[in-house]
Amino acid sequence: MDELEPAMTHSDDPARRAANRRTALLLAVVALLFFVAALFKFKGLTP
């Protein structure tokens, strides 16, 4: 596991942790927007 993910083991510096958290938050927001858009499109297609 350590050889596959060295970034997870060396995430001691706060800058990298903040960047990872910001990236995860951005991905979550994008996924949420995509889900809402798909839901609205689905509701629009089905009467």
Q: Are 18 and 12 in contact (CB under 8 A)?
A: no
Dist. CA 28–CA 22, nearest whole Å: 10
Q: What is the pLDDT of residues 3-44, one digit of tens each?
A: 555 555 555 688 889 999 999 999 999 999 999 999 988 888
Residue predicted with more confidence, 1 or 17: 17
For the full predicted model, state whether its pTM sits above 0.85.
no
| DSSP 8-state code for residue 23 | H
Helix (H) or strand (E) holding 33: helix 14-45
Task: Indicate left, alpha or beta for 13 from its phi (over 0: left) and psi (-120 to 50: alpha).
Answer: beta
